[in-house]
Every structure is written in C-alpha cells, then in structure tokens.
Amino acid sequence: MNKHLHPIHDRFLQRADREHRLMQHSRVLWLTGLSGSGKSTIAQHLERRLYNEGYFPQALDGDNVRAGINNNVDFSDEGRRENIRRIAELSKLYVHSGIITINSFISPTAAIRQMAREIIGETDFIEIYINAPLEVCEARDVKGLYKKARAGEITGFTGIDAPYEPPENPALEIRTDQMSLHDSVRAIFEFIEPVIKYRRG
Amino acid sequence: MNKHLHPIHDRFLQRADREHRLMQHSRVLWLTGLSGSGKSTIAQHLERRLYNEGYFPQALDGDNVRAGINNNVDFSDEGRRENIRRIAELSKLYVHSGIITINSFISPTAAIRQMAREIIGETDFIEIYINAPLEVCEARDVKGLYKKARAGEITGFTGIDAPYEPPENPALEIRTDQMSLHDSVRAIFEFIEPVIKYRRG
C-alpha cells in the first residue's frame, strides 16, 4: 500500500475517457428565460430526444436541485446567487463526468449567468435563451405563480417585481410563442449536435 | 407549445433507462476512514478498474467537491455536517443518473454517516470502512497533516483532537495496513460486482 499511496496521476480517469465511453462531447446547455417560457418542458423533451439518439444527458431543474442540494437556500438576492453558484459547480462536475447537462433555471440577471459561465468555463457553457413575451408567460401561468405575484402573495417574482435581463448574445434563442415544442426541441438538437457528436482525436 | 406545456411524465428519462444504457446498476460506495487510511487512493484505482471492466464510475473527493460546490463550507461542526449533506445530495443525483459513485470522505461520526444514508437511501448507500490503525495513518502522514495537528497548527483533526467513530456494521471492511492497494481494490470490486452487474427486468 505505502509504495503507491501517492496517486499515480496518469492512471486517473479523465474526462476524455468518459466522453469516449459515452461517445459524445459533454457540454452544459444553460436554458434561461421567464417562468412559463417553457424551459423545463423543453429540457425534459430534449433529454429524451438526446437519449433516443444515443447520447447520455441529464436535465437539472428545480425538482431535483432545489429539493435536494439547494434545499437550504432562500430567495434573497444572496440566496439566488448561491443557488446558481451551486448549480454551476454541480454542472461542472457533470460535464467533467462526460455528461451533457441541460439546465433550466430562470437565472434572471446577466451577472448571475456570467458567474455560471465563469465557473463552468467558456467552452462548456452554452447559453440558450428560451424567449416568450411576459404576456404570453403570464397568460399560460402553468403554476399559478403570476397570479400570486400580481396579488402580492409572492414578492421578488421575475418579470413582475424583479427584473429579467435578456441575454445579449445567447448561443441560440428559441421563441416559444412562435414555435411548437417539437420544433423548439429540434432546433436545439440540431444546433448542438455538431458540438456533442463524438470525434476521435 | 401550449398543448404540451405540462410535462408528459411517462416520457421522462428514468434511472432505469440510464442504467440500461450504461449496462450497470448504480450505487454509492461510501468510503469512510481516517486521513491517511488510503480512501482516495483506493477510490481512484477502483474507479479505473471499474471503467476498464466496462462500468461507468465517478469518484467524488475533496479535490473535486471541497474546491467547488463546497468551497464556502467551513470546518466547524455545522460546516462539516453541511459538507457531508451536500456530498450526499450530490451522490443521490449521480446515482439517479445511473452512475456508480465512489466517495472518499473521512465522515467521522455515526450520525453524519447516518444522515448520508438517509439522504441517499438504504439500498443505494454502501458503507465501506477503510481501516488502518491511527499509528499507521500517522506514520504515513502523506499530506503532513498529522504533524501539524500534533503541533497544534490544525485543530479538530480527526483521530488527534476530534473523534473517529468506526462503522459498527459496514458492508465491507478493508484493512489497508494488512492488504496491498491492489488487493484492497480487488476486494471491493469483487464485493460490489454482483450488485452493479446489469440484470435485465
């Protein structure tokens, strides 16, 4: 034991090994947009599409992150920042595990998304703007949150009494008020496939 | 879009899909033991061994966790608990991604390991005690930490001025003062292979 107690670095599994095994190049697809813009629905269908096409993706969203590793983070400015910081660090681990990560979090400000970009790294961070006008998102009101925000039962709600800063230069923008779910998923898939498709060497 | 905005649950990717694609059953191998017992070295070599045998593992340790998602956690009792809580939640995400996770963290108390077991779930949590007597770990002193702890430069160091509570009923115990690294890795591999080997249906 003692002789080899110091790790032998060149034997360690590398990201390249994992990408080779999964036959893909990993990236973080960072879906940003208003509540009700369709981020999570697109993420879930994109995840299934990628899997069916032979890729190995993992969607991260409020359901599996807010309820677990971030269950002690509040909705203050500092809490929101810490929420996104942990999500970015988690995504970085996943992307180094060789996995294509699909994140759907409102991530409302340029500063918060810049922090995520810096943690994850420029090459691995792909910003995708899921865009629908506030009126459309509010009319959908899938979770009834806009109604509560308008009634003052929720405060600091993005789009109502907290700002959403649209990405200035996203890698891709999807207008979900103009495109079907099917076409939205296809547009993202076709955009990222050249990036994630495995290339030897 | 609107018609399908509510997620279609039976289309979602499930853990079973991921395990099928990776041809393995995922588990969290939770290596506990003193600093210098050999946890990280075993984890790294076990990770390589599993990969070489066709499995898809991910080692989690201080290098990729403390430096990232847990970089704002201190070494107070509360900080240590939060450190392990986040690691357990992270492991739960990974195991639900279908990945065999190999964790090497001292995790010194029964209470802290019980918390991890409860978060991860009884079936998925496999406790492996990496055991070497304190004298042996201290003599190795790979990182020079025991020397610093004895000199009082580090306080609350497990085994010196903070307790280590050995697991009472670990799934497996590895005596690294009595076994080579190679045999230690083999013993764990042979123990877990029947559990992780893919079985249809």
Structural domain contains residue A11: yes
Q: According to the model, what pLDDT value does residue A201 have?
A: 58
Structural domain contains residue B29: yes
Cα separation, A152 vs A147, whole angstroms: 9
Give the domain extent around B124.
2-196
Structural domain contains residue A153: yes
Q: What are phi and psi of A28, to 5 degrees?
A: -105, 115
Q: Which two tokens stand for residue A158?
A: 């993005």
Tell me, yes or no, if B99 comes closer than 8 A to chain A by beta carbon: yes
Structural domain contains residue B150: yes
Residues in chain A: 201
pTM: predicted TM-score of the whole model, two decimal places:
0.92
201 residues of chain B, pLDDT tens digit each: 444 444 444 468 999 999 999 999 999 999 999 999 999 999 999 999 999 999 999 999 988 888 888 888 888 888 889 999 999 999 999 999 999 999 999 999 999 999 999 999 999 999 999 999 999 999 999 899 999 999 999 999 999 999 999 999 999 999 999 999 999 999 999 999 999 999 975
CB contact under 8 A, A97 and B99: yes
Band of residue A22 on the pLDDT scale cut at 50, 70, 90? very high
CB contact under 8 A, A92 and B68: yes
Structural domain contains residue A200: no
Cα separation, B1 vs B75, whole angstroms: 49
CB contact under 8 A, B96 and A51: no
CB contact under 8 A, B181 and A1: yes
Tell me, yes or no, if A49 comes closer than 8 A to chain B by beta carbon: no
Q: Give the CATH number, domain containing residue B141.
A: 3.40.50.300
* Residues of chain A contacting residue B9, judged by C-beta atoms under 8 Å apart: none
What count of CB pairs under 8 Å joins A to B?
112
Catalytic residue chosen out of the listed positions B40, B107, B180, B184: B107
Structural domain contains residue B201: no
Predicted complex ipTM: 0.92
| Domains identified in chain B, total number | 1
Yes or no: say if A116 and A31 are a contact pair by the CB < 8 Å rule. Answer: no
Contacts from B117-125 at CB under 8 Å and sequence distance 24+?
Answer: B117/B30, B119/A68, B119/B85, B119/B88, B119/B89, B119/B92, B120/B28, B120/B30, B120/B88, B120/B91, B120/B92, B120/B95, B121/B92, B124/B26, B124/B27, B124/B28, B124/B92, B124/B95, B125/B27, B125/B28, B125/B30
Q: Which residues of A are tagged catalytic?
A: 107
Structural domain contains residue A94: yes
Residue with tokens 């003599």: B139
Structural domain contains residue A197: no
Residues in chain B: 201
Nearest to A32 by CA among A193, A167, A139: A167
Report the range of poorest mean pLDDT among A47-51, A71-75, B42-46, B113-117.
A71-75
* Residues of chain B contacting residue A138, judged by C-beta atoms under 8 Å apart: none
